[in-house]
Amino acid sequence: MCKFTKTVKNSVIAKRANIIILHNMTENTPRYTEDEIRSLDWKEHIRLRPGMYIGKLGDGTAADDGIYVLVKEILDNSIDEHVMGNGKKIEIRVEEHRVTIRDYGRGIPLGKVIDCVSKINTGGKYDSRAFQKSVGLNGVGTKAVNALSQYFCVQSFRDGRTKKAEFSRGELREDLPETDCKETNGTLTVFEPDDTIFKNFKFVNEYLREQIKNYTYLNAGLIINYNGESYSSKRGLLDLLEHKVNPESMLYPVVHAKGGDVEIAFSHTDSYGEDYYSFVNGQYTTQGGSHLQAFREALVKTIREFYKKEFDATDIRGSITAAISVRVQEPVFESQTKTKLGSTDMGPDGPSIKVGILEFVKKHVDDYLHKNPSTAETLLKKILQNERERKDMAGVQKLAKERAKRANLHNKKLRDCRVHFTDEKNDKRFESTLFITEGDSASGSITKSRNPDLQAVFSLRGKPLNCYGLKKKVVYENEEFNLLQHALDIEESVDNLRYNKIVLATDADVDGMHIRLLMMTFFLQFFPDLVRNRHLYILQTPLFRVRNKKETIYCYNDEERQRAIKKLGGKPEITRFKGLGEISPEEFARFIGTDIRLEPVFLSADSSIEKVLNYYMGKNTPERQEFIIDNLVIEKDIMDEEDEERPATEETAAA
């Protein structure tokens, strides 16, 4: 009997017997026996599937990259100690790739130090009497840090005795005996992320500082010392909002209420969009969840009842900046990284989250508006302004959508990818990237080099409009902006964003820098939430290629160029890349692949969007002219030095 006949016969028999044949369909089917079944130990599984434990990996250029999750997992344990009334100070030091965290809680019981960092489902948080409303309940966090670190050390100080253990990639290397000590009770953890997993990673100081400040806002009385700087907060979420948003840009004083297991704070500004900071048991839930949804609904309901008018929800929440923190007993999150709350109840014996937050918001916000009529009047004016703008935009938006369809966007402007940020069940969605570039040569190089599964390209035509000070209507009337927001799918809401990373990829010359600045202005002016939530980046490509017959080195700045010249010796050939189109697709693949360098765009806490845009994009001022002249001098010095050292080549001769 031939193979085809045998296969067909087996299929017919299977149908008749109502059985699906999985094996022996052909003679070439691989073996599937007991020998093919294997069990991984805890560290092997974490290292093989790190995304299950810490989300995405990354290199540190994004605030939610894995290295920051490692820091958070250790800090969460220290914070939980503080919440339970043990230790009000935490010391953190980050030097290069090494992180050191020392808390002054009770310290891990000495006999369980090794178990607590190397045995899954081992910890003290299963006993609700010890940790009533903690974040880490599954006993995984610290073990994940251990398994994903090339060096990991834990030391506990407890009642005059200490115990220390050292690991490498989850393997125990040093099990030191208990000894006497004079140290204050607490736990010391030191780790270095594994550079074979987190390739070319670096810690961004601003991300760590923001992470640490959030902890202090949510824990009154807690002091965190970070690299010599001390952080603490007395007013909780009120301090957080005044840190995140320049008080001068708020239309009215922050409405702040705290009681029981709920704390809220909010105000409105003249910016576009909605901006939220949500927390559960001290954990920053970057993707929100049931508590944030309940707050948004409760605020709309309360304000409608106060003004006795059925305002549109988007008019009430437009331009709001708000924060909510809840304490939930035995919280349920939608992933190990705990970025989205899935719980529906405040606790086993408590009300539902929706009811609890509604009652809290209704009582405190209604009381505040009655006691502060000037705030109530200002809020009403803002809602009515949002309503007018929304109605004025309705016709423009309809025409803009029709123009986008006629422009045949997906063929002419956008070369799309297959995986998008909205694909919530796809682990790769955080890697979805849209490169915004200018010109056919640059977009052509990126298109030929990109990963079509994860990387899309949007091509600009010429320099975009300087939109500083303009109304959002211009986004729909200007073809480039209209098509771009259509590609991003943010016409209705930034919650629909199709790409996690929006990357400005422009030439390294004056025109390229100008385009970059104009695009940053566009996002800051009309879609500030995308910048605040760290979705906007600048692509770093090499400025120089230094090579001889044996080796080629790509350099991203003049310092790297000098080191490359010294390393190669003699008179290597030096090429200055001025445009993305000058880099061949083969070379470009290196710079947007695993070794991609992205510079995140974010504002410092003491900077307001209005002030930044006015300085760079407003009327010319002597201060700005001086800034430009000073920086042009620096660039000129570099170029002069480069011309003196560069040997004559065909490329330089042509130039």
Per-residue pLDDT band at 91 (split at 50, 70, 90): very high
Look at 258-262, 449-453, 501-505, 593-597 and tell me which has the smallest mean pLDDT.
593-597
pLDDT above 90 (res 493): no
**Whole-angstrom distance, CA of residue 395 vs CA of residue 101:** 56
Per-residue pLDDT band at 644 (split at 50, 70, 90): very low
pLDDT tens sequence across 214-225: 999 988 889 999
Look at 263-267, 571-575, 623-627 and tell me which has the smallest mean pLDDT.
623-627
Contact 442, 581 (CB under 8 A): yes
Q: Which of 10-24, 364-378, 616-630 has the highest mean pLDDT?
A: 364-378
At 632 the pLDDT is 65
- Evaluate if pTM is beyond 0.85: no
At 126 the pLDDT is 41
**Whole-angstrom distance, CA of residue 444 vs CA of residue 587:** 13
Higher pLDDT, 321 or 411: 321
Higher pLDDT, 336 or 53: 53
At 280 the pLDDT is 87
End-to-end CA distance of the chain: 72
At 495 the pLDDT is 84
At 503 the pLDDT is 95
On average, the pLDDT of the chain sits at: 82
Task: State CA 170 to chain mean position distance.
Answer: 27
At 37 the pLDDT is 57
**Whole-angstrom distance, CA of residue 197 vs CA of residue 100:** 20
At 263 the pLDDT is 93
Contact 534, 494 (CB under 8 A): no
**Whole-angstrom distance, CA of residue 235 vs CA of residue 263:** 11
Per-residue pLDDT band at 123 (split at 50, 70, 90): low
Q: Which of 262, 245, 288 is nearest to 254 (CA)?
A: 245
pLDDT above 90 (res 519): yes
pLDDT above 50 (res 646): no
At 638 the pLDDT is 46
Mean pLDDT within 486-515: 88
Share of the chain above pLDDT 70, in %: 83
At 634 the pLDDT is 47
At 615 the pLDDT is 75
Per-residue pLDDT band at 492 (split at 50, 70, 90): confident
Higher pLDDT, 244 or 454: 454
Q: Which of 543, 542, 522 is nearest to 531 (CA)?
A: 522
Look at 50-54, 167-171, 190-194, 497-501 and tell me which has the smallest mean pLDDT.
50-54
pLDDT tens sequence across 171-228: 999 999 999 999 999 999 999 999 999 988 999 998 899 889 999 998 888 999 999 9
Look at 416-425, 521-530, 641-650 and tell me which has the smallest mean pLDDT.
641-650
228 contact partners, CB below 8 Å, separation of at least 6 = none
pLDDT above 60 (res 117): yes
Packing angle of the helix pair 290-307, 353-371 (nearest 10 deg): 40
At 392 the pLDDT is 81
SS3 for 461-479 is CCCCCCCCCCCCHHHHHCH
The half-sphere exposure of 533 on its side-chain side, counting CA atoms within 13 A, is: 25
pLDDT above 70 (res 27): no
**Whole-angstrom distance, CA of residue 572 vs CA of residue 547:** 5
Cα–Cα distance list, 393 to 382, 388, 396, 492, 521 (Å):
16, 9, 5, 12, 21
Q: Give 436's strand partners.
A: 458, 504
At 538 the pLDDT is 93
At 407 the pLDDT is 58
Look at 86-100, 130-144, 448-462, 518-532 and tell me which has the smallest mean pLDDT.
130-144
Token digits of residue 378: 């200002």
pLDDT tens sequence across 538-568: 998 888 999 998 899 998 888 899 999 999 9
Q: Give 103's strand partners.
A: 90
> Which domains, ranges and CATH numbers included, belong to the chain?
3-36 (no CATH), 51-213 (3.30.565.10), 247-391 (3.30.230.10), 415-541+581-618 (3.40.50.670)
Cα–Cα distance list, 265 to 122, 133, 259, 268, 315 (Å):
37, 22, 12, 11, 19
Side by side, the strands of the sheet bearing 536-540 are 414-415, 455-460, 433-438, 501-505, 536-540, 597-600
